Amino acid sequence: MRIDCNAFLGAYPWRKVPGTSPDALVQALERTKIDVAWVTHLPSLFWRDPTEGNAWLYETTRKEKRFKPVPTVHPGLAQWEQVVADAANAGAPALRCDPLYLGLEPAGGEMRVLTAACAAARMPLVLAVRLEDGRQRHPNDHVPELPAAAVRALIRSDADVRLLVTHADRAFIEEVHFGSTPEEARRIWWDICWIWGPPEDHLATLLDTIGSERFVFGTGQPLRLPENGIAKLDLLDVSPDKREAIESTNVRELVS
């Protein structure tokens, strides 16, 4: 079983990306033997009201059993609590909020209230550090990357919240993990899509220093090739149990 907890549907505003349709994503899942993909509607991350993409997301994911919806919530807009309730009712495994894309303080009041609401709804909150390499972004794409300090602040802001942070590199993960108490760190999961393999061996190092139970399989597709996540795992010296944990079991722990 392989679950991709970091996938998108829909066009990206800053460059041409192939394979953004539901059918194309299904083909990519088949090609890479991914059984389930948590998907977010990519264009709406850039809309003033990102929740306007959620209806399409629910409708699309209802038609394809391999898709699980991760709707976007904007805690600065009225009635955002209904978005949380809708997600729970729809069986969404998690909610997404990328505060800097929404023009919010990444650990400000709105985010803290959202964090508490997600905790109360027993719904993990997904945040991306970045969507693209900062060196290649469109000249008008000025959204800052999520700071590690914000993740530390959010995990401390509610004792029950669980965070899934995607697109983080080794330095970011180490800063947050070792800058948190063990209890806090146990409530943060990291996807592997931005962590380097050999010869730097950042992923192998993190599995050793932080523990494989903190990592989940995520690709960032279709912005990034999903083959990359699988290649990273194929280059690791890990037991089948640990690999299975990264590919699926740890995600189940995150949503339990």
Partner 1 sequence: MLVDVHAHFYHQRTPRADWRERNESRLAAGGRIGISVHVASILGSFGLTSPTYFPSPRDVTAGNDALLALQRAHPDRIRGYVCVNPNYSAHARAEIVRGLDAGMIGIKLAASRRADDPLLDPIAALALERRVPVLQHIWQHRRRDWPGQEASDASELCTLARRHPDVAFILAHIGGGGDWLHSLHATGGGDVPNVYVDLSGSGADGGMLEACIESVGVNRLLWGSDITMDTGWAKLRYLETLLSKDDMALVRWKNAARIFPPGAFPTD
Among 162, 214, 232, 242, binds partner 1 (CB under 8 A): 232
Judge contact between 111 and 154, C-beta under 8 A: yes
Binding segment for partner 1 among 33-41, 45-53, 110-118, 194-202 (CB under 8 A)?
194-202
Q: How far apart, in whole angstroms, are the C-alpha atoms of residue 168 and residue 28?
A: 23
Among 105, 113, 196, 253, binds partner 1 (CB under 8 A): 196
Sign, Cα dihedral of 29, 215, 175, 107: positive
Binding mask 116-155 for partner 1 (x = CB under 8 A): ----------------xx-xx--x----------------
For 141, counting Cβ atoms within 10 Å of its Cβ (0-12 exposed, 13-18 middle, 19+ buried), the class is middle
Beta carbon nearer to partner 1, 25 or 146? 25
Beta carbon nearer to partner 1, 130 or 162? 130
Binding mask 4-43 for partner 1 (x = CB under 8 A): -----------xxxxx-----------x------------
Judge contact between 146 and 106, C-beta under 8 A: yes
Among 85, 143, 230, 238, binds partner 1 (CB under 8 A): 230
Q: How far is the CB of 31 from partner 1 (least distance, A)?
A: 6
The pair of structure tokens assigned to 90 is: 């729809």
- Residues 234-253, interacting with partner 1 (CB under 8 A): 234-235
Q: Which helix (H) or strand (E) holds 189?
A: strand 188-191
Ramachandran region of residue 145, left (φ > 0), alpha (ψ -120 to 50) or beta?
A: beta
Beta carbon nearer to partner 1, 6 or 54? 6
Q: How far apart, in whole angstroms, are the C-alpha atoms of residue 226 and residue 77?
A: 33
Q: Does 231 bind partner 1 (CB under 8 A)?
A: yes
Question: Nearest 5°: CA angle at 18, between 17 and 20?
Answer: 90
Q: Which spans of this chain sit near partner 1 (rule: CB under 8 A)?
A: 15-19, 31, 132-133, 135-136, 139, 196-201, 221-225, 227-228, 230-232, 234-235
